[in-house]
Amino acid sequence: MSSNPDWTCAVDPIHADTVDCQLADGSGLVAGGTAPPLTLTTRVAPDLSNVSLTNEASLSSATAQVGPEAVASSTVTVGAVDDLSITKTHTGTPHIGSALPFRIGVVNHGPSDAAGVAVEDVLPVGLDYVSVEEATARGPVPRRRRPRQARRSRATSPAPWAPMPPRRRSRSTRPSRRRPTPA
């Protein structure tokens, strides 16, 4: 636990957040002497964010009461830092009127936990939102929009989910869906 072989350190068996260190030779420290430096390395928990931590160390001796300088502390401010990356791929050849799935991957490379992670996918003109499939340990869970009739009645009876609205195209770029009338 210590980077210096002149010290022997161990985690307190009763208080796991306490580290007890003693000079390794057990002889103590002569009057006017200086102990070898002790470097105690810790690790910041990944879920901490924007918090100040005060780490306190205290001295004790078996010979006499120690003075007021027997306690020292150091305060550090921990800020969250995440390293997010996103990928987007598709497979297959798109055909008019067919589904074209895109796979979006999000990874947090740390070192902190990332809070409030969100993905926004802006669809270009020509692609309409159909559904989203969320991968789970048991496999994909499809999430689909409700039929148009159910979406129109949302104003009087709100749904427990919020679907993304389809992107609208202007009439000039929208392909005609009318069937020709027989002559």
Instruction: Look at residue 167 and tell me if it is in a domain.
Output: no
Instruction: Look at residue 15 and tell me if it is in a domain.
Output: yes
pLDDT at 132: 86
pLDDT tens digits, one per residue of 18-63:
898 888 877 778 888 888 888 888 888 888 888 899 999 888 887 7
Instruction: Look at residue 134 and tell me if it is in a domain.
Output: yes
Task: Report the pLDDT averaged over residues 170-181.
Answer: 52
**91 and 35 housed in the same domain:** no
pLDDT at 154: 39
Q: Report strand pairing: 102-108 vs 51-58.
A: unpaired
**37 and 89 housed in the same domain:** no
Going by pLDDT thresholds of 50, 70 and 90, the confidence category of residue 150 is very low
Instruction: Look at residue 27 and tell me if it is in a domain.
Output: yes
pLDDT at 86: 94
Nearest partner of 53 among 73, 82, 38, judged by Cα: 73
Greater confidence, 125 or 176? 125
pLDDT at 65: 67
pLDDT score of 106 more than 90: yes
Going by pLDDT thresholds of 50, 70 and 90, the confidence category of residue 147 is very low
Instruction: Look at residue 180 and tell me if it is in a domain.
Output: no
Instruction: Look at residue 160 and tell me if it is in a domain.
Output: no
Q: Which domain holds residue 1?
A: 1-41
Instruction: Look at residue 168 and tell me if it is in a domain.
Output: no
3 state SS of 68: helix
pLDDT score of 152 more than 50: no
How far apart are alpha carbons 107 and 114 in whole angstroms? 10
**33 and 92 housed in the same domain:** no
pLDDT tens digits, one per residue of 90-101:
888 888 989 899
pLDDT score of 159 more than 60: no
3 state SS of 155: helix
Cβ pair 89, 108 in contact under 8 A: no
**88 and 150 housed in the same domain:** yes
Q: Total structural domains in the chain? A: 2
Question: Over the range 1-40, which residues count as b (16 or more CB within 10 Å of their CB) and which as e?
Answer: ebeeeebeeeeeeeeeeeeeeeeeeeeeeeeeeeeeeeee
How far apart are alpha carbons 160 and 141 in whole angstroms? 17
**88 and 37 housed in the same domain:** no
pLDDT tens digits, one per residue of 114-131:
888 999 998 989 998 888
Cβ pair 84, 107 in contact under 8 A: yes
Residue 151's H or E segment, with its range, is helix 148-152
